[in-house]
């Protein structure tokens, strides 16, 4: 049983809840628990989409610097794999994912948010990659996912300076997708996730895979990824049900089983 990370499931939406007082610092234990819970969310048939949430006051303030400060180079060589594995596990959830960000999402906390498909920020949120102020760089995917999301120049500005951005600037540069009052951020994120309950799970997984894998390759290779994902769906019951329903009843009337 995980101590600081848990998966709460209600009405088809899974919420990955970070709960390590006071600031949800992401030490090695939290990182391992995130891997475990992310895999559970991916595997459970009763979870259609996932919200990642740190609580009302803070999303996650970053890696546990006290723990890292005592590590030798040799120890960090081993630990760095875990540092990337927990955000890889979040990104690998084959279902729509959304980060519900309140308060600080800094360093590793920002990297957790970057590993989700979309990000909803409270109007009090502060995001950033301040690792440079410690004499290091982001190590849980920040240099790669941030640049792909906001572009290399903006990513370099944030990483080089280590500065924090507020919710409005984060929205303007594309770091977050929606800004809402702090009291509403979780509700908005759950509502977004809930739209996928009862949806075509295999098609959603294929769409996510095609977009994510396509961003890693050239256009022609990406088109081949899309072709394979597209044709594979014709082996699914959902594709037959969806197209039959469209022909008979018009769009948006199909009932999907996830098979």
Average pLDDT over residues 156-184: 98
So what's the pLDDT on residue 65?
Answer: 81
CATH code assigned to 201-249? 1.10.12.10
So what's the pLDDT on residue 79?
Answer: 79
Selected catalytic residue, list 33, 111, 188, 229: 111
Contact 176, 125 (CB under 8 A): yes
Q: Burial letters for 133-168: b for 16+ Cβ neighbours within 10 Å, e otherwise? A: eeeeebbbbbbbbbbebbeeebbeebbeeeebbbbe
CA distance 52 to 50: 7
Residue 2 has pLDDT above 90, yes or no: no
Per CATH, which fold does 5-194 belong to? 2-enoyl-CoA Hydratase; Chain A, domain 1 (3.90.226)
Count of Cβ atoms closer than 10 Å to residue 5 Cβ:
24
CA distance 87 to 31: 8
Alpha carbon separation from 217 to 138, 141, 171, 210 (Å, rounded): 23, 17, 27, 11
Selected catalytic residue, list 33, 43, 75, 131: 131
Contact 36, 56 (CB under 8 A): no
Least confident of 73-87, 104-118, 205-219: 73-87
Alpha carbon separation from 89 to 31, 32, 33, 97, 115 (Å, rounded): 10, 10, 11, 12, 9
Q: Identify the bridge partners of residue 60 per DSSP, sorted by sequence position.
A: 105
Average pLDDT over residues 172-177: 98
Q: Where are the domains of the chain?
A: 5-194, 201-249
So what's the pLDDT on residue 10?
Answer: 98
> Would you call 75 a catalytic residue per the annotation?
no
pLDDT in tens, 42-91: 999 999 999 999 999 999 988 778 788 888 888 888 877 888 999 999 99
Residue 146 has pLDDT above 90, yes or no: yes
Give the chain's mean pLDDT: 95
Contact 211, 96 (CB under 8 A): no
87-78-159 Cα angle (round to 5): 50
So what's the pLDDT on residue 232?
Answer: 96
> Would you call 40 a catalytic residue per the annotation?
no
Domains 5-194 and 201-249 share a fold: no
Note the pTM of the prediction, 2 decimals: 0.93
What is the enclosing helix (H) or strand (E) of 78? helix 73-91
Measured in degrees and rounded to the nearest 5, phi and psi for residue 78 equal -75, -40
CA distance 100 to 53: 5
Residue 192 has pLDDT above 90, yes or no: yes
């Amino acid at each position: 049983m995980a101590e600081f990370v848990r998966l709460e499931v209600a009405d088809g939406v899974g919420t990955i809840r970070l709960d390590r007082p006071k600031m949800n610092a992401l030490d090695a234990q939290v990182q391992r628990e995130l891997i475990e819970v992310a895999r559970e969310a991916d595997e459970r048939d009763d979870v259609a989409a996932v919200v990642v949430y740190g609580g009302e006051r803070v999303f996650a303030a970053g890696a546990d610097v006290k723990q890292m400060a005592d590590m030798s180079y040799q120890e960090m060589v081993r630990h760095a794999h875990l540092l990337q594995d927990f955000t890889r596990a979040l990104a690998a959830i084959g279902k729509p994912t959304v980060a519900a960000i309140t308060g600080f999402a800094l360093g590793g906390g920002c990297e957790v948010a970057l590993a989700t498909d979309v990000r909803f920020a409270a109007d009090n949120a502060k995001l950033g990659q301040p690792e440079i102020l410690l004499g290091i760089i982001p190590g849980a995917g920040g240099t790669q996912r941030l640049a792909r999301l906001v572009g290399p120049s903006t990513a370099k500005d944030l990483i080089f300076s280590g500065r924090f951005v507020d919710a409005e600037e984060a929205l303007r540069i594309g770091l977050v997708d929606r800004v809402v009052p702090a009291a509403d951020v979780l509700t908005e994120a759950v509502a977004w996730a809930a739209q996928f309950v009862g949806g075509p799970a295999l098609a959603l997984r294929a769409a996510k895979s095609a977009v994510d894998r396509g961003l890693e390759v050239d256009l022609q290779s990406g088109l081949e990824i899309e072709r394979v994902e597209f044709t594979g769906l014709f082996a699914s019951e959902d594709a037959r049900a969806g197209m039959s329903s469209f022909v008979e009843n018009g769009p948006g009337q199909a009932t999907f089983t996830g098979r």
